[in-house]
Amino acid sequence: MNIDSKLPDIGTTIFSVMSALAQQNDAINLGQGFPDYDGPAYLRERLAHYVRDGFNQYPPMTGVEALREQIALKVQRLYDRPVSADSEVTVVPGATEALFCAIMATVNAGDEVIVFDPAYDSYEPAVRLAGGKTIHLALKAPEFTVDWQQVRDAINQRTRMIILNSPHNPTGSVLSPDDLVHLADLVRDTNIVLLADEVYEHLVYDGLSHQSLLLVDELYERAFVVSSFGKTFHVTGWKTGYCIAPPLLSAQLRKVHQFVTFVGVTPIQWALADFMRAEPDYCLQLAGFYQAKRDLFCNALVGSGFQITPSSGTYFQLADYSQISDRNDRAMCEWLTKEVKVAAIPISVFCAAPLSHQYVRFCFAKQDNTLLKAAKRLASL
């Protein structure tokens, strides 16, 4: 049987590939972005409670009302943005599903979608499946900032969407208040929709603040803003996130969502609602928690062959290995995994054009002893 694939050049995601390689070689996995510690005890206890006590049937398509209400309260408290739990908050089984549904709901054949390289690898396949064309604009290394003149030059009548990711995976850069001003100026009086991947919203360091599209009226009125409970509460395997969008856009997202997964997992949603009600300020502790891990890891690599500028956000750290090897980044990651027994992620897989820098990405969402053990191996190079 012949299959005319819609994604003929897409293989298994690099995260699965490198995690499998790490397991095969008994390497410390600093590649795929998941913690090696568990989420809060009370959150896990509430999940067990709801599984035991019969909360195991379909929830509402938009999400359990109690959880949507807690999300709305959080958005009001952190971003001074009043949103309707009924018409602007949608709970989804993972942020990736929200990104996919937002793209499928608004991008049509021939539309162009601007992304910034290195770009998370789920964006372009969704655009292509929607019949759109992805326009790749490179962030300016080594700070990985947006060149707004380049964006202005790329916008035309076919531009339908701009995808923004801040804090940015894989580089760890963050948008500034000036970036939001530039963005608002570019999309004003256009029909461009914004898709904001803000799953690391609470992981911003060194006194910086997260510049959410929720903060600016004229940006939010055309935006899907996506976040993740898995990243916030250290439970990536729960695959639960949410999308905040104005009623018109939420309605379009939900039309797709109901035919992709229909609902998220019921007992998980009830557990999250309870935890958010009991610990409303938990997310405010995360920046300090992860900055300490970032600093521990970076300091342990001082004097090594890696050149490092501490990341401003996410739980990822880029490392320039040009003084160690002239291998390409994928070969370097394979070598690190097999020979040094530390797994990383190559950056080139997130880019349409070849890179002029030699970077690998490490995840520091690990126990301190894990980070120190990995850093000792890396510093020996």
Q: Does residue 3 belong to any structural domain of this protein?
A: no
Q: Does residue 4 belong to any structural domain of this protein?
A: no
- Residues 250, 256, 257, 258, CA torsion sign: positive
Q: Is the peptide bond before 35 cis (omega within 30 degrees of 0)?
A: no
pLDDT at 102 over 90: yes
Final residue of a domain: which of 248, 279, 310? 279
Model pLDDT, residue 25: 96
Q: What H or E segment, with its residue span, contains residue 227?
A: strand 223-228
C-alpha to C-alpha distance for 283 and 232, rounded to whole angstroms: 7
Looking at the fold, whether 26 and 149 belong to one and the same domain comes out as no
pLDDT at 364 over 90: yes
Q: Does residue 328 belong to any structural domain of this protein?
A: yes
Q: Which alpha helices (H) appear in 118-220, and where do they start and end?
A: 123-129, 148-154, 177-187, 217-220
Q: Looking at residues 201-205, what average pLDDT do you find?
A: 98
C-alpha to C-alpha distance for 288 and 285, rounded to whole angstroms: 6
Q: Does residue 2 belong to any structural domain of this protein?
A: no
Final residue of a domain: which of 279, 302, 324? 279
Q: Does residue 179 belong to any structural domain of this protein?
A: yes
pLDDT at 356 over 80: no
Q: Which of 356, 360, 344, 363 is nearest to 139 (CA)?
A: 356
Q: What are the tens digits of pLDDT across the range 325-334?
A: 999 999 999 9
C-alpha to C-alpha distance for 287 and 203, rounded to whole angstroms: 5
Looking at the fold, whether 216 and 155 belong to one and the same domain comes out as yes
C-alpha to C-alpha distance for 378 and 332, rounded to whole angstroms: 12
Looking at the fold, whether 185 and 148 belong to one and the same domain comes out as yes
Model pLDDT, residue 3: 84
Looking at the fold, whether 53 and 118 belong to one and the same domain comes out as yes
Looking at the fold, whether 171 and 122 belong to one and the same domain comes out as yes
Looking at the fold, whether 51 and 159 belong to one and the same domain comes out as yes
Q: Does residue 24 belong to any structural domain of this protein?
A: yes
Among the ranges given (66-70, 164-168, 278-282, 302-306), the one the predictor scored with the smallest mean pLDDT: 302-306
Looking at the fold, whether 23 and 45 belong to one and the same domain comes out as no
CB contact at 8 A, 202 and 284: yes
What CATH number corresponds to the domain at position 157? 3.40.640.10
Among the ranges given (4-8, 104-108, 305-309, 321-325), the one the predictor scored with the smallest mean pLDDT: 4-8
Residues of the domain holding 194 = 41-279
Model pLDDT, residue 304: 92
Q: Looking at residues 24-49, what average pLDDT do you find?
A: 96
Q: Does residue 296 belong to any structural domain of this protein?
A: yes
Looking at the fold, whether 107 and 199 belong to one and the same domain comes out as yes
Q: How many domains does the chain have?
A: 2
Which residue type, as a one-letter code, is found at position 218?
Answer: E
Final residue of a domain: which of 247, 279, 311? 279
Q: Does residue 97 belong to any structural domain of this protein?
A: yes
Looking at the fold, whether 323 and 230 belong to one and the same domain comes out as no
Give the chain's mean pLDDT.
96
What CATH number corresponds to the domain at position 298? 3.90.1150.10
Q: Looking at residues 228-248, what average pLDDT do you find?
A: 97
Looking at the fold, whether 263 and 297 belong to one and the same domain comes out as no
Provide the pLDDT confidence category of residue 15 given band limits of 50, 70 and 90: confident
Is pLDDT larger for residue 306 or for residue 12?
A: 306
φ, ψ at 141 (rounded to 5°): -80, 155
Looking at the fold, whether 238 and 319 belong to one and the same domain comes out as no
Looking at the fold, whether 21 and 87 belong to one and the same domain comes out as no
